[in-house]
Chains A and B, each alone.
Chain A
């Protein structure tokens, strides 16, 4: 049975259609494997070869991958949520109610988005602690650490901007308090707050701004920096597996 399955899979991979998409072809040689990685737009960010040790759970606890996974879940649930949501003052909260009461699996979508967002913040922090305590931020990886810090900030901003969108009391006051904190910045405080809210109080403009930031600007920035982050892993010599081994 297993053998039969293998033949089918092999036949499929030899087919013209398959080959037109995955050009590296089959074969168990190092070249084929290297090509498979190198010729794939997603995988080519990674190095073609890596140490087996880097795959050990204890090295990374898979925290970076899990952060990426939550990010992907957030994108995947966020897009359908956008279909039901209007960033307007009279409609925003009513849309929450629609999601809760009439949209099929609406509650599931919202909850998945919300819990993934919490998980992502948690995982990103955990990832940074792991990197920090293992010393993986040291040269030659110091630039990637900086990218990581930028990604942490983007994550937090995504979380914060998403908080306003339900337009309930919690959201309203959280953003009011947050933007007031912002205005405590010396000299520029009031201007930053005005820029952030598109006015002096949390209202329609603030909602629209936060919506655009949450759904367009910040996700695009996150994708860009995630790309750089992964590419730099490869350029900086793969995952950091430990003091002794990295000197080999």
Chain B
């Protein structure tokens, strides 16, 4: 009773008449509105700042940290990059290196990186939502922001937005980009890095215009069904063809093949079946520098420039092999295979050796009837549909343009536009990885073939693709570090033709074009002596016994070697110094003795190099027992002064040698050659 009366009294007090009701409601409204400034005051980030202050209070350098701490909202604003990052509002200790032992986020200081944090902000590399000031919004994919923070395992992708060259710190990105070109991804997909030309494939898929001369329909069938059964290292993917489809495609490929100019059959030497000698021709020619063979333990031995040769005998026809070894460019004008100028005997031995590399299981179960017209027509339709011509040259089928989606901004793809396969987490890296791992999971109608990749390769490819962002396109050109341009350097004249013939550029780089398997020859003319070069070209031996890959012998004639030597000595001179500026004749015995001391004591060169074959044990650098016959004094002197100037990226340490030291060492090294009498006696 009493309670009811009290309530009634209270009600009357608050809402008794309209004036009271109005006043009460107004007060309630004001109280409600007070929530707004309160919420403003107790924001998530202010809690973190309070926690940070509590954290530093117990530390020795509390006063310094306290002074450097700036309360309130923090922001990195870089208008030209479109960066508004408020991450440092919570990540307050980014630059406090003294907090390196702190492991709790958001207070961990940033590890040392080559860039200034103020210059690039956070989201350029980390992604996520820079403008956000709450944990959830800043880091994850939310309703109003798709791009979450980039997972650490793909982090190198961020470097790739500006750096189109390969960096030593980003092996995964470098591998990814290499694989994109190597596995022919960019044959079907267009992929442009910002401000650069389209990425070109490096796998050099063979032309199929004369394929019937090279191999049989049965082999093509077996290859199409499972490329890896023939060659474990094949970059050709599995197109998951049915038996009938593989039968029809093989029928079409044989049907479209045309003859090409092959030398007389009479000239082709019969394969001599001496395995021992054949193997030694294979070894002497350093075929393994480019080609691999699987050994008994299943390991690949050899290079990956050319195709694997483990089962080559089951594939190629003997008459084709003979022609190929003699004149590779007849069959494939753009091949990287050099013309070796083999003697008839060598040719026979090598061909015999290769033909013996067969695998009886490979074609055991392949039985194909003669192809019908319908099968050939169906095969052609399939070849068009699967985009075979994107990689291989074919008669009567043009290379399709934009066969597959453009991947130039694959790293910024909107999740809203992606159809995820069941079970794939809804993030871009997961989508890319799943798509690369098993394209057929995204629908059987997809044309993308199945690759046989390791998890490391998949991660690398995802990293390579994640580097292709819209942000990368928008970055000011001044920040972009261009990739190594593919230069179209082509030496002229007779020597140029010789160099093309021997495919020097497959291993050596000159003026920015060529491979990195062998030394850069851009300034070789300044580096070596004429007599040495002439002998070397005729009979290349190596300066580095520890290496498996060596320069093969190309059986050059005297005239050819002379032409090449003249050209190299004339054309490949460095502008950095005058080749005649230092003369061996000016060195005294005293210089040489001083040089010897410097070599063995001050600079301890013997840790990597060998001068005295009996006592020295340095196998890292080239052996220097005959350097006096090879190098020029001027080159040696300047090379000692600054190795990286003459050979960029060289691992030879720059010792900041004085001129006097370098000169003495040069004197010592120039004396390292066989005595002339010995030389003569050998001849």
Contacts and interface: CB of A to CB of B under 8 A. Distances in A.
Contact of A105 (B40, B84, B86): B40
A236 interface: no
A76 to B, nearest CB: 13
A105 B416 contact: no
A168 B86 CA distance: 21
A129 interface: no
Contact of A108 (B36, B73, B133): B36
Contacts of B133: 101-102
A102 B73 contact: yes
Contacts of B40: 104-105
A169 B414 CA distance: 11
Nearest to A169: B416
Given A90-B82, A169-B416, A98 B36 contact: no
B335 interface: no
| 6 cross-chain pairs, A with B, having the tightest CB-CB distances, nearest first | A97-B131, A101-B133, A108-B36, A105-B36, A104-B40, A101-B132
A90 B75 CA distance: 19
A96 B137 CA distance: 14
Interface residues of B, number: 17
Nearest to A166: B144
Contacts of B37: 104-105
Contacts of A98: 131
B86 A102 contact: yes
A94 interface: yes
B433 to A, nearest CB: 26
Contacts of B75: 102
B257 interface: no
Given A97-B131, A108-B36, 19 more contacts: A97-B84, A98-B131, A100-B132, A101-B131, A101-B132, A101-B133, A101-B134, A101-B137, A102-B73, A102-B75, A102-B86, A102-B133, A104-B37, A104-B40, A105-B36, A105-B37, A105-B40, A108-B39, A168-B144
A53 B144 CA distance: 50
Contacts of A104: 37, 40
Contacts of A168: 144
Contacts, number: 29
Interface residues of A, number: 13
Nearest to A111: B36
A94 B132 CA distance: 10
Nearest to B134: A101
B33 to A, nearest CB: 9
13 contacts: A90-B82, A94-B84, A94-B131, A96-B144, A97-B84, A100-B132, A101-B132, A101-B137, A102-B133, A104-B37, A104-B40, A105-B37, A169-B416
A167 to B, nearest CB: 12
Contacts of B36: 105, 108
A104 B42 CA distance: 12
A51 B82 CA distance: 62
A101 B87 CA distance: 12
Interface string A168-209: 110000000000000000000000000000000000000000
Contacts of A96: 144
Interface of B: 36-37, 39-40, 73, 75, 82, 84, 86, 129, 131-134, 137, 144, 416
Contacts of A169: 416
A104 B129 CA distance: 20
Contacts of B129: 97
Contacts of B131: 94, 97-98, 101
A140 B82 CA distance: 60
A90 B474 CA distance: 12
Contacts of A101: 86, 131-134, 137
Main secondary structure on B side of the interface with A: loop
A104 B84 CA distance: 18
Nearest to B37: A105
Contacts of B39: 108
B36 to A, nearest CB: 5
Residue of A94, A101, A105, A168 with most chain B CB atoms under a 10 A cut-off: A101
A80 to B, nearest CB: 13
A102 B132 CA distance: 8
A94 B77 CA distance: 12
Contacts of B73: 102
A169 B143 CA distance: 11
B136 to A, nearest CB: 12
Contacts of B137: 101
Contacts of A102: 73, 75, 86, 133
Nearest to A104: B40
Residue of B37, B75, B82, B144 with most chain A CB atoms under a 10 A cut-off: B144
Interface string A89-120: 01000101110111011001000000000000
Nearest to A98: B131
A130 to B, nearest CB: 23
A73 to B, nearest CB: 13
Nearest to B131: A97
Nearest to B138: A101
Contacts of A108: 36, 39
A29 B133 CA distance: 61
A90 B144 CA distance: 16
Contacts of A105: 36-37, 40
Nearest to A93: B144
Nearest to A103: B40
B641 to A, nearest CB: 52
Contacts of A90: 82
Contacts of A97: 84, 129, 131-132
Interface string A70-88: 0000000000000000000
A61 to B, nearest CB: 18
A90 B82 CA distance: 9
A102 B129 CA distance: 14
Contacts of B416: 169
A94 B86 CA distance: 13
Contacts of B86: 101-102
B67 to A, nearest CB: 25
Contacts of B82: 90
Nearest to A106: B40
A169 B145 CA distance: 11
A168 B75 CA distance: 23
A168 B146 CA distance: 12
Contacts of B134: 101
A97 B131 CA distance: 6
A247 to B, nearest CB: 31
B496 to A, nearest CB: 52
A98 B73 CA distance: 12
B367 to A, nearest CB: 58
Nearest to A109: B36
B128 to A, nearest CB: 13
Nearest to A168: B144
Nearest to B129: A97
A60 B36 CA distance: 33
A151 to B, nearest CB: 27
Nearest to A96: B144
Contacts of B84: 94, 97
A169 B37 CA distance: 30
Contacts of B132: 97, 100-101
A165 to B, nearest CB: 15
A105 B84 CA distance: 20
A90 to B, nearest CB: 7
A100 B73 CA distance: 13
A72 to B, nearest CB: 15
B674 to A, nearest CB: 72
A114 to B, nearest CB: 14
A96 B145 CA distance: 12
A97 B145 CA distance: 10
Interface string A141-168: 0000000000000000000000000001
A110 to B, nearest CB: 12
A96 B84 CA distance: 13
B575 to A, nearest CB: 47
B439 to A, nearest CB: 28
Contacts of A100: 132
